[in-house]
Structure 1
Amino acid sequence: MVKRPSKSKTPPRAPLLSEEDATLRGQKRRPRDPAQPQLPFDPMPARIEPCLAKLVSKPPAGPNWIFEIKWDGYRLAVHLEHGTVRIITRGGHDWTDRFPAIADAARALPVSTAILDGEAVVLDDAGRSDFNGLQQALGGRGGKRSASDAILYAFDLLYFDGHDITRMDQDDRRRLLADLVPEDGDGAIRLSQEIEGQGAAIFAAACEHGLEGVIAKDRTKPYRSGRNGEWLKIKCVASEGFVIVGYERSSDALGGIGRLLLAARQGDGLVYVGGVGTGFSGSSATALRKQMDAMATDAPSADAGKKRKNVVWTRPELVAEIEFRAWTADGKLRHASYKGLRDTEDASDVYEVE
């Protein structure tokens, strides 16, 4: 038996008037009820603080997690608003003129307004991100050159077509991003590919191919600024930013630098985490020595323990990117190697000791 549809509670509409009826007249327009819901556009935010990945020792397991390659470059937010592009660093600086190819690619996207979250990188011959290559393209620390070879791997979409979509789940934001940035594109803006599978196997494969590591994201979570655990980073070789608090002189070493003395953040201060004496080139060591000598100071900004000879203490203004294998029992870096300096305007990413 076919079930009859239930009667509507709304009154039936009057039939259309025939041609013989009186002239049609609309009702007098009533003022809008303030309680009536509406769907306004969200104003374009000047900046959204980025979601940061929490460092963990092993990949998570479970169906909620998806994985991406961890790119080694500069975190950027690309703002597109009716043909106008702004490229903002993690530290909040406008670097639009330093990434002209990325800016041009953003203007060509098939949308009027958007904010993309991603990483600017320079790739080596094997297709891996090369942090030193990116720094050289930008003219080194404090340089003002534009990196025309840099590309953006976009991995999130925060604002789309007039609407703030940070409250949407990771999966939903990803689908919109994939519609906007082609998965097989080879331009200056490319989609950072999602990898589905077992986290341990994906991480092992990334390390075998010489990559820095992987990022794990909870597909069910919205985008939240800060380091809240929705995103995790697992590194094959640890690499973090540390503040240079001084250096040991050496007549035999490149640039006269025997060892850099490093510190991490701890609360409102700095804590000494050891030194690094490898990874320098002749030119980089000489330039670094000149910078450090220009900011020499009498007292150390972090307690380095025993009294040291032939040490030049410096103001804690330079942030070095350091690779290392592990930590010692007393909280010092093991098998550390110098990679380069973080840029003056974007040196906010300093390792924090809990």
Structure 2
Amino acid sequence: MTKPPTSKPLLQDADRPVRSRPRKPRNPAQPNLPLDPMPDRIDPCLALLKLKPPKGPQWTFEVKWDGYRLAVHIEPTGVRILTRGGHDWTDRFPAIAAEARRLPVATAILDGEAVVFDERGRSDFGRLQQSLGGRGGKRMSREAVLMAFDLLYFDGRDIRQTELTSRRHLLEGLVPAGGEEAIRLSEEIEADGDILLRIACEHELEGIVAKDRNGPYRSGRGGEWLKIKCIQSDGFLIVGYEKSTASFGGIGRLLLAARKGSDLVYVGGVGTGFNERSASELREQMDKLTIGKPAVDTGRKRNAVFIDPKLVAEIEYRAWTHDGKLRHASYKGLRDAQDHTEVYDLSATASWMQ
């Protein structure tokens, strides 16, 4: 499907925002067209991790946002905001929910990422976590903004099998570019992937996402979407910490583990990225999970406290050492279990490094 021409909006005043014409009331004499059932929940399309951007005219690029993946369901009975794991967080994002109710559509499902921006306009996962009250918190986030990047259902039609170009065209009609509301468009960027990645990294963004213009929306990692990161950031299980009287929360260093199939493997520690608040909240969570023996062999550690590996920390890192430990790691925050958190799997490393 080709993108409809945009000649008429060009006839408008350049300083005025483009708006669709008001819809006319439906003529009751017209026959009703059959509608597609609205899905109760859709598993999200996930991006494959690659080291380099793809080449070719079929690829389009966006900024990679660092937040919580959400699906916004606009239904005749109201609005529902679901996490990646299917949990209803409508009440926790009141500004996004209110903005969704104002969108000019009867029924729709928007796919996007809830983010909180820092002073430089970058999405900051730690700030999003704090706005929600930390891991397990119940606070409402009025600061969060939904960066919408796909449209899966539109006015009674399931459009997941439609190519991305057409889905984006419909999305742009609902969420115009350049808005400052609680729902904003994640804009496509026309650029060479290598150049765009370099610019993203220079601005200290997390990375970019490449999407196949002609691809349908498929749940899981089907290869239609690819992510290329400036700095690696993944989830790791906390298996303990080393005590320190000179550090926030008494945490000298977190001890981390990754998965390798059904096993856990120690991948080193992280001692930076904490502030007084995040360290205090983390220590409170860990103190509830202390155990006598480590869940994984961490080698000899002084002043170590071991915990049941139930907490997932989001960790930034530059690379891996030759012996399989994280290099230049920094703590970003705790992932919430309701965010359908993934723990880094060492057995999958070879596949994304190709």
Q: Same fold (TM over 0.5)?
A: yes
> For residue 11 of structure 1, what is the aligned residue in structure 2?
none
- Per the TM alignment, residue 307 of structure 1 is displaced from its structure 2 partner at its CA by 3.5
Q: Which has the greater radius of gyration?
A: 1
Write out aligned runs for 1:156-305 (5 A). 156-304=150-298
Q: Deviations over 1:228-279 (max 9, x none)?
A: 2211111111111111111122233322212111112222332221110111
State the distance in 2 between where 1:133 and 1:256 align. 22
Please give the residue correspondences for 1:1-354 in structure 2 after superposition, counting only pairs within 5 Å: 40-82=34-76, 84-304=78-298, 306-346=299-339, 348-353=341-346, 354=348
Q: Is the 8 A contact 1:319 1:347 kept in 2?
A: no
Equivalent pair of 2:239/2:255 in contact (CA under 8 Å): yes
Gaps in structure 2 of 5+ consecutive residues: 1-31, 349-354
Q: Could you tell me which amino acid in structure 2 is paired with residue 321 of structure 1? A: E
Secondary structure class of the residue paired with 1:48: coil
1-structure distance, mates of 2:211, 2:138:
34
Q: Tell me how many residue pairs correspond in the alignment.
A: 316
| Distance across 2 between alignment mates of 1:327 and 1:39 | 56
Give SS of 1:339's match: strand
The Cα of 1:86 is off from its aligned counterpart by 0.4
Deviations 1:62-99 (A, max 9, x none): 11110000111111000001251000011211100010
Structure 2 counterpart of 1:232, one-letter code: L
**TM-score normalised by length of structure 1:** 0.85
State how far apart, in whole Å, the 1-side matches of 2:334 and 2:224 are. Answer: 29
Q: 1:83 to 1:124 in 2, by over 3 A?
A: farther
**Structure 2 CA distance, aligned partners of 1:50 and 1:302?**
32
For the residues of structure 2 that align with 1:285 and 1:149, how far apart are their CA atoms? 22
- Long gaps (5+) in structure 1: 1-37
Q: Which amino acid aligns with 2:331?
A: Y
Which has the higher mean CA deviation after the structures are superposed, 269-278 or 318-327? 269-278
- Return the alpha-carbon distance in structure 2 between the equivalents of residues 207 and 127 of structure 1: 14
Query: How far apart are 1:347 and its partner, in Å?
Result: 5.1
Answer whether contact 1:154 1:190 (CA < 8 A) is retained.
Answer: yes
Q: Is the 8 A contact 1:59 1:216 kept in 2?
A: yes
Normalising by structure 2, report the TM-score: 0.85
Deviation string, structure 1 residues 300-322 (Cα, Å, up to 9, x no partner): 33333x24332221111111111
